Structure 1
Amino acid sequence: MYIKSISSDKEKKPIIFFLMGPTGCGKSKFAIFLRKYLPIEIISVDSALIYRDMNIGTDKPHPIDLKNHPHRLLNIKDPNEIYSAAEFRRDALKEISSILKIGKIPLLVGGTMFYYQTLLYGISNLPASNIKIRK
């Protein structure tokens, strides 16, 4: 797969890997294994792992693994902060571009399929959420 917005039709398409599946199936462990042999940088595609301290029930990688094999877009928000799929798309595209610029391969790892969908196909412009309704 490739992300259309990153390159024009005349350019060589960048290589971008996607590793998708349900919680606890070994995606992160496999990504860490791949990172030992391939020039990849890991981007988390998980709506729970973006939050700090959300370790139980998310199968978040061990802190030692994260130190040795950093995951982008992981632990970037506090649990009381809102983070939308549109924000994920913006942040992921920025991370992908950054990784490609240093000559590495982005490996997107996670199970939030809506995030993958918005990344690949975009998202409609919707009105901002109403905080009163959300509460």
Structure 2
Amino acid sequence: MKKIPIIILTGPTAVGKTNLSIDLAKELNAEIISADSMQIYKYMDIGSAKITIDEMQGVKHYLVDEVTPDYVFSVSEFQKRADDYIQKINKDNKKVLVTGGTGLYLNSLIYNMDFAKSDANNELREKLRIELEENGIDYMHNKLKELDPEAAQRIHKNNTKRVI
């Protein structure tokens, strides 16, 4: 498959990526794919500096408000959806502008990372999620300490997704 060139605009929150991305998209006849791990979620507008409809100024955006907060969204799914949108945007004879600050999302596109071998064990994950609900955060983090003390030191107990 022919490689499609993409333009990447990245940086931390609140440095002006949004305004610059709109200006670039208008100048270059581009559409924007968000590479932000929080903007993918509907209803999570506060604290994510999510672009508003008015701020979009008619520029088409992808991967903003696509899934609900209870949906488990992975970098693998980001890569697949972003690749599909890249194909669509290119087919429409527009340039692709990827903007955001989630490094792993960006790396998944730049380096074409293969996530096929790292499928999550959803059955085990669900079992552990229920165990967390029943027994609490401290219990689950202590269980992690027993199984993998190094990981338990790196992962804060409130980061339940990583603890699981």
- TM-score (normalizing by structure 1): 0.84
Cα RMSD after superposing both structures: 1.6
Equivalent of residue 52 in structure 2, options 62, 76, 79: 62
Tell me the secondary structure at the aligned position of residue 59 of structure 1: coil
Tell me the secondary structure at the aligned position of residue 127 of structure 2: helix
Q: Deviations over 1:4-58 (max 9, x none)?
A: xx51xxxxx5331000110111111111111222110100000100001111111
Distance, in Å, in 1 between the alignment partners of 2:78 and 2:62 is 11
* Corresponding residue number in structure 1 for 2:126: 131
- Mean alpha-carbon deviation: is it higher for 103-112 or for 66-75? 66-75
Tell me the secondary structure at the aligned position of residue 97 of structure 2: strand
Distance, in Å, in 2 between the alignment partners of 1:86 and 1:127 is 9
* Corresponding residue number in structure 1 for 2:95: 105
Tell me the secondary structure at the aligned position of residue 50 of structure 1: coil
Q: Where does the alignment leave 5 or more consecutive residues of structure 2 unmatched?
A: 133-164
Q: How does 1:80-119 map to 2 (within 5 A)?
A: 80-119=70-109
Cα deviation, residue 68, structure 1: 1.8
* Corresponding residue number in structure 1 for 2:23: 33
Distance, in Å, in 1 between the alignment partners of 2:4 and 2:40 is 25
Please say which structure displays the higher CA radius of gyration.
2
* Percent identity over paired residues: 36
Structure 1 residues 113 and 17: CA distance shift in structure 2, 3 A: same
Distance, in Å, in 1 between the alignment partners of 2:15 and 2:22 is 14
How many residue pairs end up in the alignment?
Answer: 125
Tell me the secondary structure at the aligned position of residue 90 of structure 1: helix
- TM-score (normalizing by structure 2): 0.70
Tell me the secondary structure at the aligned position of residue 118 of structure 2: coil
Q: Where does the alignment leave 5 or more consecutive residues of structure 1 unmatched?
A: 1-5, 8-12
Higher helix share: 2
Distance, in Å, in 2 between the alignment partners of 1:66 and 1:85 is 24
